[in-house]
Amino acid sequence: MAATGIGPGRRVLDVAAGTGNVAIPAALTGAAVVAADLTPALLAAGQKLAADRGASLTWREADAEDLPFEADEFDVVVSCVGAMFAPHHRATADEIVRVCRPGGTIGLISWTPGGFVGQLFATMKPFVAPPPPGVQPPPLWGSEDHVADLFGDRVGGVVAEKRTVRISAFASGAQFRDYFKANYGPTIVAYRGLDRAAELDAELAALGDRALVDGVMEWEYLLWTATVV
């Protein structure tokens, strides 16, 4: 919250908000928050979480590439490992800029290409069909150069900082693999109809084992903030 100045009275949009892991804390600061996501099931789960925590905010079904909001409608537009999964990066960046007022703040958290989740996508790549033309890999949003190219001179005051989050939920690479096979969308898709499942099983377990150090993984992400000019 500190990186984007979210607080009382600020109009905030969380793009690809999922179940509201950013939107709900933002609302609890007193900000006027809209959580937008393409998946109704995630919005429904988020509404329940918000009610349990006493947070008041608006939930909207919305495509990150075609946001149903007016130009300059928000003081702050954020996305935490959400908008990076929209298939067309420039269209998503264009929409984020459009709905954020001049002088407003954009704040993005994205997994980096070289970090653990970027390595996960690289590991799965040989097992999935090539993407349609124009679709770019999600971890590119964790590249400072790529994000700079997407937003260009439409923003200023850019701050880009690589950080890590410590994950201690997995005792082994196999446990990590099994959890992601059951719960993580891109991994579920990679296994769908796959006749080389045993090979991918081994690759993902090995990836997890390499990343585990004393029972902890360090997952790198890019925290990127800027002001709309």
pLDDT above 90: residue 1:
no
pLDDT above 90: residue 94:
yes
Q: Check residue 177 and give its pLDDT.
A: 98
Q: How many CB atoms lie within 10 A of CB 25?
A: 15
69-78 average pLDDT score:
98
Alpha carbons 56 and 58: distance in angstroms, whole number = 7
pTM comes to 0.96
Q: Check residue 2 and give its pLDDT.
A: 83
98 band by pLDDT with thresholds 50, 70 and 90: very high
Burial class of residue 156 (count of CB atoms within 10 Å of its CB; 0-12, 13-18, 19+): exposed
Counting every residue, how long is the chain? 229
Neighbouring-strand partners of residue 43: none
24-37 average pLDDT score:
98
Pairing between β-strand 32-37 and β-strand 58-61 as defined by DSSP bridges: parallel
pLDDT above 90: residue 14:
yes
- Domains in the chain, start-ordered, CATH in brackets? 63-164+220-228 (3.40.50.150)
- Of 201, 34, 33, nearest to 124 by C-alpha is 201
Alpha carbons 201 and 224: distance in angstroms, whole number = 33
192 band by pLDDT with thresholds 50, 70 and 90: very high
**What one-letter code names the amino acid at 112?**
T
Query: Who contacts 144 (Cβ-Cβ below 8 Å, separation ≥6)?
Result: 160, 222, 224
Coil/strand/helix, residue 154: helix
Compute the Cα dihedral for 26, 105, 162, 137 and give only its sign.
Answer: positive
Averaged pLDDT score across all residues of the chain = 97
What pLDDT, in 10s, does the model give residues 111-160? 999 999 999 999 999 999 999 999 999 999 999 999 999 999 999 999 99
